[in-house]
Amino acid sequence: MPTYEYECQTCGSFTMLRPMAQRHESCQCPSCAGPGGRLLLSAPALTTLSSSQRQAMATNERSAHAPQTLGEYQQNRRHPSGCSCCAPSKPLAPTKANPQGLKSKTGSRPWMISH
């Protein structure tokens, strides 16, 4: 959530963390509970955030009122080319020791099956 700056007529300026959906609404002063009008004193500090932090903030802000659609979810879950988790694995070729091409025990640890 972004930090907004407000000004109370009796207490002076104060800052509040609020959702972007409430950016145009007035805010009560935390000290005297009087009305506080929005006041812009400083520029947004987006350049000091890393891109991953900006993306996380945008995701958190969006999830409050507009969750991802199925198409957006599937687009974000795509893996890079060459990913082996989504493609079928290569079948083992039958050999003389393993004519059915099955996975077999490896070494001195029979409980460990190769992947």
- Domain-embedded: residue 38: yes
Judge if pTM exceeds 0.85. no
- Domain-embedded: residue 104: no
- Domain-embedded: residue 9: yes
- Domain-embedded: residue 57: yes
pLDDT at 85 over 80: no
**38-80 confidence digits (pLDDT tens):** 666 666 666 677 888 888 887 777 666 677 788 887 777 777 6
Please give the structure tokens belonging to residue 81.
Answer: 């080319």
- Domain-embedded: residue 28: yes
**Predicted pLDDT at 25:** 80
- Domain-embedded: residue 18: yes
Give the count of domains, the chain. Answer: 1
What residue has token string 């407000």?
Answer: 6
pLDDT at 14 over 70: yes
Query: Hey, which of 27-31, 91-95, 100-104, 109-113 has the most confident mean pLDDT?
Result: 27-31
* Residue 95: alpha-carbon gap to chain centroid: 47
Exposure on the CB side of residue 104, measured as CA atoms within 13 A: 13
Containing structural domain, residue 33: 3-65
